[in-house]
Amino acid sequence: MKISTKTRYGMRVMLDLAARYEEGCTPLKDIAERQGLSKKYLEQVVAPLAAAGLLTVTRGYAGGYQLARAPRDITLADVVSASEDGLELMTCTSDLLACERADSCPSRRIWGGLQDAINDYLQRQTLADMVA
Amino acid sequence: MKISTKTRYGMRVMLDLAARYEEGCTPLKDIAERQGLSKKYLEQVVAPLAAAGLLTVTRGYAGGYQLARAPRDITLADVVSASEDGLELMTCTSDLLACERADSCPSRRIWGGLQDAINDYLQRQTLADMVA
DNA sequence: TCTAAGTCTAGTAGTTTGCTAGGTTTTAAT
DNA sequence: ATTAAAACCTAGCAAACTACTAGACTTAGA
């Protein structure tokens, strides 16, 4: 139940980009400096966010990253889900086949409820909400 | 953002005990058999739950575990918190000193909100709710 | 062509996870 | 007093994960 550094940094990058959404693309170097993080490591942090289509990338000279959509159209669920490769707390809540006891398992209901609470919160909030 | 096996098993043990709360103490062996889990591993799963005062332990012959309080008086937060050694998603939400940027950090608000959503859910539900 | 950007891959020390295993202590029953 | 069944304690371990660093490669504007 811990949030990884990768996800935390990913959120900071997204928030940083959200605050500059109008200004076109931003090189990672600038973000790294502002956030006090290693640029090299941020490259890896950013990769899954770009792969998930949350960022538009401009390569080459004067390149950088920009949010692929307006901050109001990117939810926290989008960001966390991309960084953590899904929001699932465990395999058995989504994948019925993961456990033969799944259908009668009372603890599955517990985790399912927790999962819903988490998903609800993350889907309600957008980057725009958090920047403001 | 994954729930560890230890915590999942711990919840199953607690639920198993909640269903038998009236019947006095239950040896781990029985729980392990019913749940299809290794008794030896469950010993380690149960240790932090007992240490947190959620279980009363009877040692020696015919010993075993029983919930220390009625199922209605044990929340899911009690169980998860004992198993995971706290509910915190990260150090910086609780410990201000963990990061010098803490006071001005917008992503801290995000994680704080998520933390609240999780705590709320876990504190509202009791073992009795889940057994029923 | 130079240079500043992103991309891809590999390595790595340290930690965590999910166990297994063995021995010790406690206590009721015999 | 002995036995047996239970909890308790500690150690070990392979595999995975984490949080990085490093270097070589590609892209594209000035």
In B, minimum Cα distance to A126 occurs at B110
CB within 8 Å: B114 and A118: yes
What beta strand segments (E) does chain B contain? 55-58, 64-67
Bigger pLDDT: A122 vs A108: A122
**Taking a C-beta distance cutoff of 8 angstroms, is the pair A17, A65 a contact?**
yes
Please report which confidence band the pLDDT of residue A83 belongs to, taking 50, 70 and 90 as the band edges.
very high
Q: Between A8, A84, A121, which is nearest B117 by CB?
A: A121
Other beta carbons within 10 angstroms of residue B73's beta carbon come to 12
pLDDT tens track for B62-100: 999 999 999 999 999 999 999 999 999 998 766 655 666
Close Cβ partners of A72 (under 8 Å, ≥ 6 residues apart): A126, A127, A128, A129
- Distance, C-alpha A86 to centroid of its chain: 9
Rounded to a whole number of angstroms, the distance from the CA of A67 to the nearest CA of chain B is 17
At A92 the pLDDT is: 72
Q: Which phi and psi angles does A65 have, rounded to 5°?
A: -120, 150
Cβ of A58 less than 7 A from strand C: yes
Are B74 and B41 contacting, i.e. CB atoms less than 8 angstroms apart?
no
Nearest-angstrom CA–CA distance, B129 and B127: 5
CB-based contact B110 A125, cutoff 8 Å: yes
Ranges under pLDDT 70 in chain B:
93-103
Of B91 and A111, the structure prediction assigns the larger pLDDT to A111
Residue A66 β-bridge partners: A56
Cβ-proximal residues to B7 (8 Å cutoff; 6+ apart), any chain: A1, B79, B80, B83, B84
CA distance B99 to chain A (A): 12
Rounded CA separation A69/A88 (Å): 24
Q: Looking at residues A3-19, what average pLDDT do you find?
A: 97
Is the per-residue pLDDT at A106 higher than 90?
Answer: no
Those residues whose C-beta lies under 8 Å from the C-beta of residue B33, and which sit 6 or more positions away, are none
B36 touches chain A (CB under 8 A): yes
- Whether the CB of A54 is less than 7 Å away from nucleic strand C comes out as no
Which tokens is B78 given?
């009690």
- Percentage of residues in chain A having pLDDT higher than 70: 92
Does the CB of A60 sit below 7 A from strand C? yes
Q: Please check whether residue A80 touches B, CB under 8 A.
A: yes
Contact of A105 with A25, CB cutoff 8 Å: no
CA B127, CA B85: separation in Å to the nearest integer?
19
Other Cβ atoms less than 10 A from the Cβ of B55: the count is 22
Q: pLDDT by residue (tens digit) across A30-62?
A: 999 999 999 999 999 999 999 999 999 999 999
Q: What pLDDT, in 10s, does the model give residues A87-103?
A: 999 987 666 556 667 66
pLDDT, residue B12, reads: 97
